[in-house]
Amino acid sequence: MASSSQVAVESTPGRAQRPPGVVLTVLSASGFMAGLDVFIVNVALDDIGHDFPGALLADMSWILNAYAIVYAALLVPLGSLADRYGSKRGFLLGLTVFTLASAACAASPGLWALVVFRGLQAAGAAALTPASLGLLLAATAPERRARAVRIWSASAALAAAAGPGLGGLLVQSSWRWIFLVNVPVGAAALIAGARFLPDVRRAGTGRVPDVFGGLVLALSIASLSLALVKGPGWGWSSPATVGCLLWAAVGAGVFARRTAHHAAPLVAPVLLRVKAFAWSNATALLFSVAFGANLLAIVLWTQQVWHYSALRTGLAVAPGPLMVPLFAVLAQYATRRVQAGVIATVGSLLYGLAAVLLALRIGTAPHYAAELLPSMLISGAGVGLTMPTILACATADLSPAQGATGSAMVNMSHQIGNSLGVAALVATLTTATAGHTPSPSPHGWWLVSGAALLAALCALGMTPRGQTAGTVAQAPAQAASATTVTD
């Protein structure tokens, strides 16, 4: 996605001066919206199900997975196209698609129409997210880039934290408001973006990454997710389940071959030979499996077993996200003395511990302070220690020309993990009910704890060469500030 070529920022004579604060606000707000829609829908699933009678959890899970799968598959190719044809053009086009698709989601007449529009939403998000980083670097003075990148990155983390609470608030009016809220924000960002964002192009940008390989990857992940979700009901040895699993395996093989032989593969093999990058992506994938499954498991339990409203569910989840920025700061300070991989390992183990506590202690009668609150606080601490450290380690040993691509790839791993986590949870709950309609069960938290344990083991290998996180924490910003910008 990024290249070593020089970035040109074209200015129109008489154009209004670009206030750095306005540019940062537009780009951060747009990134916040794109990230928010990964998580805001969880608390609305119950209400969506009431509006679409007969919709099963296995089917409604595709409202979550369609977004995550399409976003993951298109992030790198669309980022490269933005580099080639202009980051501003890519950003505004992506924001337009995202905003219009949000309105279509709100007006959806049925479940599968909503799933399709969610996929279009994700395509818009995949275009605007990487383009926004390129625009931010171009519009920000070199001495202020490190701070701007941290704020831009924090907006995505804040979206993940705020999703359930904001979703619960909006659902009080109607679940359709979780999509409608994007429309005025998107329109305002489009107007401000057209006026204030610089026009950024990269001369000599190389080949566009393998778009067909991205589509094969998306279909392979979707097929695996379908097999996991439907397998308990279809039967694990049924032709449909076996067919989905075979297609997932064949698709993975095709993708691996194209990665090895394509002139511009979606995942560059040279990056996978960077130890910290490879282990960071593995950790991101497994930790996101735990994260995606845990969030949905908590929402289902509070709403369907404890009979919480969507708003009360969002408020019940909120203490966890509040821990994230506190422990993210703690992680940044700790990396001056402790290896970054060890910090991420501790965070993953805390997340797994929080799931074990729920599996062992949560009951059918609501005892929030004694049963759910401790787990939310511990899991929030785990996310704060793990997630920022993963991104910092993933890009620390990459060259400046590889930094943006590396960030996009680790984001892709996050989204794939979220999708697989949701699918695996639905499969676990369905299996626990002997193939009947899945219902909340403590079994889901054993899945979460297992994925978190595997993430902890992978995290041990992701510490960058000869670096402590004091330098690691600065790596993404350093890579960003190495880009040459002319205005």
Q: What is the pLDDT of residue 472?
A: 55
Q: What are the domain boundaries of the chain?
A: 17-197, 210-265, 267-481
Q: If we measure between CA atoms, which residue out of 292, 280, 24 comes closest to residue 136?
A: 24
Give the bridge partners for 10, in sequence order: 199
Q: What is the pLDDT of residue 481?
A: 34
Look up residue 201 and give its DSSP letter.
Answer: E
DSSP secondary structure letters along 145-171: HHHHHHHHHHHHHHHHHHHHHHHHHHH
Identify the band that residue 379 occupies on the pLDDT scale cut at 50, 70 and 90: very high
pLDDT at residue 381 is higher than 80: yes
Structure tokens at 291: 């994260």
Mean pLDDT of 174-198: 90
pLDDT at residue 474 is higher than 60: no
Structure tokens at 267: 């995942």
Fold category of 17-197 in CATH: Growth Hormone; Chain: A; (1.20.1250)
Structure tokens at 245: 């699993």
Average pLDDT, the chain: 82
Give me Rg for the CA atoms of the chain. 21
Identify the band that residue 485 occupies on the pLDDT scale cut at 50, 70 and 90: very low
pLDDT at residue 468 is higher than 60: no
Span of 206-210, 229-233, 327-331 with lowest mean pLDDT: 206-210
Determine phi and psi for 207, rounding to 5 degrees: -65, 150
Checking DSSP bridges between strand 485-486 and strand 7-10, what pairing results, if any? parallel
pLDDT at residue 245 is higher than 50: yes
Q: What strand order describes the sheet that includes 7-10?
A: 199-202, 7-10, 485-486
Q: What is the pLDDT of residue 432?
A: 64
Mean pLDDT of 402-412: 74
Dump pLDDT digits (tens) for 270-324. 878 888 889 999 999 999 999 999 988 999 999 989 999 888 988 898 888 888 8
Task: Decide if domain 267-481 falls under CATH 1.20.1250.20.
Answer: yes
Pick the residue with more confidence: 200 or 451? 451
The winner for highest mean pLDDT among 47-61, 92-106, 164-178, 204-218 is 92-106
Q: What is the pLDDT of residue 133?
A: 74
Q: Assess whether the region 17-197 and the region 267-481 belong to the same CATH fold.
A: yes
Span of 162-166, 252-256, 477-481 with lowest mean pLDDT: 477-481
pLDDT at residue 201 is higher than 70: no
Identify the band that residue 449 occupies on the pLDDT scale cut at 50, 70 and 90: very high
Identify the band that residue 487 occupies on the pLDDT scale cut at 50, 70 and 90: very low
Q: If we measure between CA atoms, which residue out of 164, 79, 180, 173 comes closest to residue 121?
A: 180
pLDDT at residue 476 is higher than 90: no
pLDDT at residue 15 is higher than 70: no
pLDDT at residue 255 is higher than 60: yes
- CA 425 – CA 431 distance, rounded (Å): 10
Which residues make Cβ contacts (< 8 Å) with residue 310, sequence separation at least 6? 43, 44, 46, 47, 167, 168, 171, 172, 175, 303
Under a CB-based contact definition with an 8 Å cutoff, are residues 185 and 37 in contact? Answer: no
Which residues make Cβ contacts (< 8 Å) with residue 53, sequence separation at least 6? none
pLDDT above 70 as % of the chain: 85
Dump pLDDT digits (tens) for 112-171. 999 999 999 999 988 888 788 778 877 777 777 767 766 776 676 677 667 777 888 888
